[in-house]
Amino acid sequence: MAEINYTAVVAKDLEDLIPVFISNRTKEVDLLRTAAGAGDYEQLSQIGHRMKGVGNSYGFAPISDFGKLIEDNAKKSDKAAIDGVIGAYVEYLSRVRIVYE
Amino acid sequence: MSEEQSFRVLVVDDDPDMAAFLALLLKKEGMRTDIVQDGDSALVRVMSDPPDLILLDVMLPGITGFEICQRLKSEEATALIPIVLITGLEDQQSRIRGIESGADDFLSKPVKREELVARVKTLRRLHETRKELESRRLAAEVERKEAIRKTFSRYISPRLADRIIGDTGQSSDIFAKAQRSQVVAMFADLRGFTSLTERTEVGRVVEMLNEYFSILSEAAYRYEATIFNMAGDALLVGFNVPFPQDKPAERAYHCAREMLTRFAPIAAQWEAEQGIGTGVGIGICMGEAVIGNVGSPHYMSYTIIGNPVNSAARLMQLAQPYEVLVCDEVYKCLRDIVPAAQIEARGDVTLRGRTDPIKVYNVKVPLPEATAARA
């Protein structure tokens, strides 16, 4: 299967904030995995809700999409679906290329 | 700090990335920003250092954005600070709850920068217009109070004027409607004034009168009397008007005492200068009187009318220089605070214009020896 390359177009004036933003996403993945392992759907729902708000604001629309999926699946307590979304999120973070405009 | 940067926005969001994003956009618009990440910190910050606008996330740990909004809008000190609720909740129910909690505007996450800037700028304009109107209203209020103070200060002490100005309740009627109440009326008169005017240059007479009335009115103000009339060399003041006062007869006595003791050295100076002896005679009486504006549309005077005023005037006429003559009712109020040796009963006296005699007392005021000898 061909690798998908993601591009995030970020406003130039946000450039200084991006290193911390990306670092926080990595921590977020750890929190998601921990919460999923513990079956803590309340925590998963809150993290998903937060991702939904912040992703698109910075120009990372897929992060908002992943957040919405995690929040929706947490409400259904669907662990398998959540694990799948976390995996996709991890892959996105490892492949995303940031372009400042 | 520029005028732009003087506009301060408090960003309340538990997501540090979202808070940093919002703060950056506002800084680019020349606004100062502070960030707090939970509801309790937000309330403490707003109370201690009120911002000009609050961007408030709804989903916060602890107190929610709705609750914070409701609390701030219910406090007089913070009710006018514009609040923009930022929420990912797009359903109508959340918006309704936001409106009910008093939010001024809403932003949905993800936040669109153009929308954020436009909304904040609009609220800023509204806030600044409101502040400008408020400052104009306050300036007009200060001007109005100052005008009232100037008008009142001719009659009453500055403290009493402040009380009337500060009281938005019954005080507004005090000068508009006549009232009947228990008062203590006090007349003071300058003895030897006629001789003084005959022998002294007119400019100097006016200076002396001003000096005399300054002493009397300062004493009256110190004891929160209301000055009703100043005519020739006589002064009429009232106690227990327009507001009830604690121990008005005692106030009147202390006031009379201060008038006499402060005038004594001035009289000595005048005597040395002009060779004419002067003194002050005082009459005090208490009872029911009518207080109000009396006159015609062309000229009105805030005055006091009734038996205690007439009796005080007659007692003043009977009083020798440095004597304080009082009626029986005033005596009964003073006998516990003035040593018996200082009170001299003058017996029953029928005052001019009255059919029944009244008991009269001379309440002696301790004076400097030289003054006492002249009196």
| Tokens 């505007």 belong to residue | B105
The DSSP code for B112 is P
Tell whether the torsion through CA atoms of B126, B70, B79 and B44 is positive or negative: negative
Q: What is the pLDDT of residue A3?
A: 60
Q: How many CB atoms lie within 10 A of CB A92?
A: 18
The DSSP code for B3 is T
CA R_g for chain B: 33
Q: What is the pLDDT of residue B62?
A: 82
Cβ contacts of A43 on chain B, cutoff 8 Å: none
Smallest Cβ–Cβ distance between B24 and the set A13, A49, A52 belongs to A13
The answer to whether A64 faces chain B, any CB pair under 8 Å, is yes
**Arithmetic mean of pLDDT, A39-57:** 92
The answer to whether B61 faces chain A, any CB pair under 8 Å, is no
Q: Do A14 and B21 touch (CB under 8 A)?
A: yes
Contact B186, B239 (CB under 8 A): yes
pLDDT tops 60 at residue A16: yes
Cβ contacts of B111 on chain A, cutoff 8 Å: 53, 57
Answer CATH for B173-374 from 3.40.640.10, 3.40.50.1110, 3.30.70.1230, 3.40.1080.10: 3.30.70.1230
Cβ contacts of A11 on chain B, cutoff 8 Å: 113
**What is the token pair recorded at A3?**
């690798």
ipTM: 0.89
**Mutation target vs B (from A10, A23, A50; most B CBs, 10 A cutoff):** A50
CATH topology of domain B4-137: Rossmann fold (3.40.50)
Cβ contacts of A52 on chain B, cutoff 8 Å: 88, 109-110
Q: What is the pLDDT of residue B264?
A: 92
The answer to whether A55 faces chain B, any CB pair under 8 Å, is yes
The answer to whether A13 faces chain B, any CB pair under 8 Å, is yes
Strand A7-10 with A97-100, pairing: parallel
Strand B105-108 with B83-87, pairing: parallel
Closest CA to B234 of B286, B283, B197: B283
The amino acid occupying position B50 is P
Q: What is the pLDDT of residue B350?
A: 87
Contact B109, B21 (CB under 8 A): no
* Segments making up each domain of chain B, as ranges: 4-137, 173-374
**Mutation target vs B (from A13, A16, A57, A63; most B CBs, 10 A cutoff):** A57
Q: How many Å apart are CA B257 and CA B311, to the nearest integer?
A: 19
The answer to whether B117 faces chain A, any CB pair under 8 Å, is no
CA distances to A84, B191, B335, B340 from B309, rounded to whole Å, are 98, 20, 22, 26
- The H helix count followed by the E strand count for chain B is 13, 13
Beta-bridge mates of residue B179: B291
* Segments making up each domain of chain A, as ranges: 7-100
B282 Cβ neighbours under 8 A, 6+ residues apart: B186, B187, B188, B189, B256, B259, B260, B316, B319, B323, B324, B325
Q: Do A57 and B18 touch (CB under 8 A)?
A: yes
| Better-scored residue on pLDDT, A5 or B311 | B311
Strand intervals (E) in chain B: 8-12, 32-36, 53-57, 83-87, 105-108, 179-191, 226-231, 234-239, 279-295, 300-305, 324-327, 343-349, 358-363
Which helix H or strand E contains A50, and what residues bound it? helix A41-58
The answer to whether A11 faces chain B, any CB pair under 8 Å, is yes
Alpha-carbon dihedral angle through residues A26, A30, A36, A37, given to the nearest 10 degrees:
150
pLDDT one-digit tens code per residue, A80-100:
999 999 999 999 999 999 999
Answer CATH for A7-100 from 3.30.750.210, 3.30.420.610, 1.20.120.160, 3.30.56.10: 1.20.120.160
Q: How many CB atoms lie within 10 A of CB B160?
A: 20
Q: What is the pLDDT along chain B (375 residues), one digit of tens a residue?
A: 454 457 899 999 999 999 999 999 999 988 999 999 999 999 999 999 999 999 999 888 888 899 999 999 998 889 989 999 987 656 677 778 888 889 988 888 888 888 899 989 998 888 888 888 888 998 988 887 777 767 666 666 666 677 666 665 555 566 667 788 999 999 999 998 888 888 888 888 889 999 999 999 999 989 999 888 888 889 999 999 888 899 999 999 999 999 999 999 999 999 888 888 899 999 999 999 998 877 777 777 778 899 999 999 999 999 999 999 999 999 999 999 999 999 999 999 888 877 889 999 999 988 776 666 666
Q: How many beta-carbon pairs under 8 angstroms link A with B?
A: 47
Beta-bridge mates of residue B237: B186, B227
